[in-house]
Every structure is written in structure tokens, then in C-alpha cells.
Amino acid sequence: MNIKKLREAEALFLQRYPGGFNSEEMQKIAKKHNVDKLAEFASTALAKKNFANQASILNDIIKIVSRSSMISMFEKPKFRDYVNGLRRDDRACLRDGFQRLLHGNQERGFQEVVDVLSEGKLAKWSLMTICLLYYRPQEEVFVKPTTTKNVIRQFELEGLVYSPRPTWAFYAAYRDAIDAMKAKVDPSLSPNNAAFTGFLMMTTSVNQ
């Protein structure tokens, strides 16, 4: 990690937005993305006990994807239609995968979700990580391909090689890197991980 570049990005951001994400301008931007409201919904909808009702939990996962401003408008209906059209055993596998991803063996769950979504060519980073982010917004991260590649390049994150196909190994390493970066900057830049990666996105786009 290039700490000097990170500190420079922090200084520029705080100069433009005094108070970080507490500033009035950033509060307006954050409100458009509605992370807190969706995180509140996810914390209830994706609770472990709710996975007993397969139809309901998959429907709520579809709702989260559909309501998220961070998911492409093209991916939302494709995801909805694909999940709704799955055979009974594949729906069970998807439910089980998400349950493990959120409440159990994350690595196994991640791969199970990838396997099911791959059949519909929907094993994309955005769809793989959006529920993780909303369920644990302080711990998990949303992997947006362009932003992620720029962050790795700009801040010289060693050992991280981005691939379009989601893997648990990359996700876990990237999540650790984000945690390490958060620890080096002012807390006002990371009210949640969506905000922090938003800060990184804004600062890397400036340096294109």
C-alpha cells in the first residue's frame, strides 16, 4: 500500500469536503444511494432465521438487488428473471449459498452462489457482493470492477490481481486491504464501507 498517496487523497478530499461524509454536500450524495435504509432492510430480511422460507428469502435478495443504486439497470431485471426461473434444486442451492455466505462458511457459500449464477452468466462482482455490503456495511465491501482496478493501481495494493470472475480469495484479500486503508485515514471518510470505497472512487477518478 502506498500510504503517501492515500494521505494525499485524504487531504484533497477533506479540503474539498470539510468534515468528510459529514459535510452537507456529501450527505446529499449519500442520501441518493440510500445505503443506511437498504442496510436496515437487509439486516432484518437476511437474518439467519428467515432462510427457512426459501421463496421469501430469494424474493428479498431480488428486492435488495433491484433497489440498489450500485447495481446496473441492465443487471437488475436479468438477475430477477434468472432467479425466478431457476429449477427447484437450483433455487435451493442459491438459498443455501447465500445462507453460508452471510451466516456460515463464507468461502463455501461464495463459491456456491458463483456456481449457480454462472449458469445464467450472472456471476458478476456486483451481484456477488451487494448483499454482503448491505448486511454488514462496516465489515464487507462492494466490489465495483472499475473502481477496484483503479484502487489497486493507484494505491499500489500488493498481491491483488483483479479478475472478472469472482473468487473468494480475491474478495477476502481486497476486504483486508480496505480495512487496512481505513485505519490510515480520518474516520469521517468511512461511516461505512460503501462510503469509503466511494471516497476511493472519487479520488482515483481525479487521478485518471
Give residue 169's domain range.
Answer: 3-32+141-206
117-137 burial, b if ≥16 CB within 10 A, otherwise e?
Answer: beeeebbbbbbbbbbbbbbbb
Q: What is the pLDDT of residues 1-30, one digit of tens each?
A: 899 999 999 999 898 888 888 888 877 776
CB atoms within 10 A of CB 76: 16
The alpha carbon of 96 is separated from its chain's Cα centroid by a whole number of angstroms, namely: 20
Cell 461505512 belongs to residue: 192
Same domain for 120 and 61: yes
Same domain for 125 and 96: yes
Same domain for 154 and 130: no
pLDDT above 50: residue 141: yes
Same domain for 121 and 53: yes
pLDDT above 90: residue 46: yes
> Which of 77, 105, 135 is the C-terminal boundary of a domain?
135
Same domain for 45 and 24: no
Instruction: State the Cα–Cα distance between residues 88 and 67, nearest whole angstrom.
Output: 25
Q: What is the pLDDT of residues 66-122, one digit of tens each?
A: 999 999 999 999 999 999 999 999 999 999 999 999 999 999 999 999 999 999 999
Percent of the chain with pLDDT over 90: 77
pLDDT above 80: residue 63: yes
Domains: count for the chain? 2
**Average pLDDT estimate for 162-184:** 95
Same domain for 168 and 105: no
pLDDT above 60: residue 64: yes
Rounded alpha-carbon distances, angstroms, from residue 105 to 14, 43, 76, 83, 91? 38, 18, 27, 22, 19
